[in-house]
Amino acid sequence: MANLKEIRTRISSVEKTKQVTAAMKMVSAAKLKKAQDAILQIRPYADKLQEILGSLSGSLSDSEDNIYGSERKAENVLLVAITSNKGLCGAFNSNVIKRVNELANGVYSNQRAQGGLKILAIGKKGFKDLSKAYQVIGHHNELFDDMSFENTSAIASSIMKEYVEGNYDRVELVYNRFKNAGVQILTNEQFLPIVNEENDDANAHSDYIFEPGKEAIVSELVPKSLKTQFFGAMLDSVASEHGARMTSMHKATDNASDLIQDLKLHYNQARQAAITNEILEIVSGANALSQ
């Protein structure tokens, strides 16, 4: 059994760790509230806009009009992996990296073998791991310092431009979708080309009247919807990160409390054993002197 000094040192160390994890939990909880409000405010707007976009994409069947929805053979694929700059958030980052690996080695294995698979890593954790195995064309870790629609729009516009120019035939986003503080849904969704809304009625789109016109819709509404979709994915990821970190730090704090209790029990047992040995030595010495 370890001596008393070693146990006291370990108890002190675990108590300090507990203070850190408890503080991180409180910080994440505060940040989560702000991030949760942001995603809940934009999600209805983004979902409805994406629904309208899917319907319009089916109406804009002409490839010249529907530049963001033209289906091409997926020879060049871009995967946008959205992770975080910091760790200590459970499996938040590893789940995204695992999903990218599954896509790269499964659905897009042929593209990877031919050099047509590229990764855009947003977040230091994803960039660090994915750059070891894949062709990572860039990273935007600075986004988390100032998360705004303007900053994310610049990245979305760059991706859209590359798609229109034919450098990519398909773009997918891989991120954690926020459900609640304890649940994050790992998601990979197609960003480009635009996914047409499923409709059983073949003539469902024949009654659309385009105002002011198809060109205006393609040049204004469609890019705005795509930028909003990208911004929503970023907000989802940020809220999920804070939720995952809060949950992880809560568990770490509870584990530290349990460990402290166990160490104190061991300390009391060791102290009792030491006292018992001292008493036995005193009694033995007294008996020896009396004889």
pLDDT (tens digit per residue) in 38-80: 888 888 888 887 777 666 666 665 545 678 887 888 899 999 9
- Provide the 8-state DSSP code for 220: I
Judge if 4-20+249-290 and 31-196+209-244 fold alike in CATH terms.
Answer: no
pTM for the structure as a whole: 0.84
Nearest one of 257, 252, 250 to 32, comparing CA atoms = 250
What confidence category does residue 287 fall into, taking pLDDT thresholds of 50, 70 and 90?
Answer: confident
Structure tokens belonging to residue 169: 């035939």
Q: Is 181 a catalytic residue?
A: no
**Which of 32, 39, 89, 238 does the annotation list as catalytic?**
89
CATH for 31-196+209-244 is 3.40.1380.10
Q: What is the CATH number of domain 4-20+249-290?
A: 1.10.287.80
Q: Tell me if the bond preceding 44 is cis, omega within 30° of 0.
A: no
Per residue in 149-191, pLDDT (tens digit) is: 999 999 999 999 999 999 999 999 999 999 988 899 999 999 9
- Do residues 192 and 170 make contact, with C-beta atoms less than 8 angstroms apart? yes
Domain ranges across the chain: 4-20+249-290, 31-196+209-244
